[in-house]
Amino acid sequence: MSFYIVNLALQFFSRKVFLDYLGTEILGLNTTAMNLLQFLNLAELGVNAAVGFTLYKPLHDNDIQSVNEIVTLQGRLYRRIAMIIIGGAAVLMCFFPLIFAKIELPLWYAYASFGVLLYSAMLGYFVNYRQIVLTASQQDYKVLYSYKSVMILKVLFQMCAVRYFDNAYVWWLVLEVVFASVASLSLHRMTMKAFPALADTGHSFRQLRKKYPEFILKIKQLFIHKFGGFAIYQVSPLIIYAYTSLSLVAVYGNYMIIVTGIQIMAQMAFAGMTAGIGNLIAEGNKEKIVKVFEEYFSLRFFISAVMTFGLFVLSTPLVTLWIGSNYLLPQSTLLIILAIMYITLFRHILESFISAYGLYSDVYATVVEASVNIALSVILGAFYGLDGVLGGTLVSILLVVVFWKPYYLFRKGFNGHYDRFVRMFIIHNAIGIGLAVVFVFSTKILFHVVTQSVTHAFFIGLAVVALYAVVLCALLYVFTNGMRMAAGRISSLLRSTKS
């Protein structure tokens, strides 16, 4: 968590330096190039997630031979996928004059940006892929030590280069290549140190595919889910660019840095939980699993509600202090972004159990979600611009995440108890959203009367968010079993730590 907070702070500072010395045009170009690369990465097919699911049992049983075979199979697949991505990138770059027809920068900027990002991504397919054994064995912190520490240094060097050197963007690109290479080698060394017996088995792809047929099935299912995720979260900036400009993509990207930071922070707070849930599911005690889900739901809902409310209260003073009031989005756009973030945080609650169960067969739901998202974003974007594009995303995730995913999990995983979930969902959201509305209207007068500057408004906002968190926690404790169980677990952990 400490590594992540430092990295998040650096992202804010580096974004400010980037905007001041390179401008929104280059930043929008960089964001668009990243989205194009994410499209090519669809070829990854969800191999990484399938490997993680397949590794839980052999890691638990200390079956080194099976671990080596699964990771070897991943390596064989990744080499094939990397070749597909490189070929797709070559074809895509032929269309750059059309894709970036609206930019005022030299076209080589687009080629250089995309090429550097492609190189960094390919390191994951040829060098970094073995890190999955660290994730599956709940040793993600070693990935942070070996990889993220180097990337933090990269950001610091890039900030200095952009600020003080001529040809700043060229230096930014060179440092991106150098530090990506160093970080990959560092991560590979950490992985081999943690698992010295990890080695290529020498088996062919065909032999390994026959031995692990479920692995290939999960990949096929996960590919559809991965495509749906791309359509929801990566296509939007491209549609925004089509209807607006690179500058608005950059302004939207500023908010998405904050939103993504909040989402990752929530994930970091529960890092390793999926593997732990997998062990719980292996016990087969359905009633215990449902109780743990209820406890987990309450705890993550509390964090999600506080983060969403906090961003609503603090986003305006935060962005103003960070990069200036010229980069603020309208209130209507902010509300849609917050609604999407809120549902996405809720989605992670369900996905933790869905992934632990390996429930990926609902591919039609993902097709519907992606189709609705793209269709509505294009149609509404033509009439309402940025709000329309984001509105299409909001409708699509509401349909699938709020209505379908819980039903699918409780039917396939928990074998019932869906009515229990409906009651839990209504009670939590009624408390969280109702309290947020009360706080917004009751504190609006306070902000107008008490605040004297943007800095003052930011700290007043922090106090309001803290008070909201305290009251929400108390109400959830009174009205929900999950929060009472979570409080009891935390209290027990604290007592055991002291003893």
Question: Residue 450's pLDDT is what?
Answer: 55
Could you give the CA distance from residue 311 to residue 333 in angstroms, rounded to a whole number? 13
Three-class DSSP category at 336: helix
Q: Which residue has the higher pLDDT, 271 or 356?
A: 356
Confidence of residue 108 (pLDDT cuts 50, 70, 90): confident
Could you give the CA distance from residue 310 to residue 261 in angstroms, rounded to a whole number? 13
Q: Which of these ranges, 53-57, 146-150, 444-448, has the smallest mean pLDDT?
A: 444-448
Question: Residue 426's pLDDT is what?
Answer: 94
pLDDT at 45 over 70: no
Confidence of residue 110 (pLDDT cuts 50, 70, 90): confident
CB count in 10 Å sphere of residue 389: 30
Question: For the chain, what is the mean pLDDT?
Answer: 82
Could you give the CA distance from residue 70 to residue 51 in angstroms, rounded to a whole number? 7
Q: Which of these ranges, 272-286, 354-368, 405-419, has the smallest mean pLDDT?
A: 272-286
Asked whether 312 and 447 are in contact (CB, 8 A), the reply is: no
Token pair listed for 472: 């929400």
Question: Residue 271's pLDDT is what?
Answer: 66
Question: Residue 433's pLDDT is what?
Answer: 93
Question: Residue 466's pLDDT is what?
Answer: 94
Could you give the CA distance from residue 242 to residue 216 in angstroms, rounded to a whole number? 37
Using alpha carbons, select from 101, 242, 243, 126 the residue that is nearest to residue 180.
Answer: 126
Question: Residue 490's pLDDT is what?
Answer: 81
pLDDT at 207 over 80: yes
- Provide the 8-state DSSP code for 202: -
Asked whether 323 and 250 are in contact (CB, 8 A), the reply is: no
Q: Is 183 left (phi over 0), alpha (psi -120 to 50) or beta?
A: alpha
Q: Which residue has the higher pLDDT, 51 or 313?
A: 313
Residue range 205-221: mean pLDDT, rounded? 79
Question: Residue 336's pLDDT is what?
Answer: 92
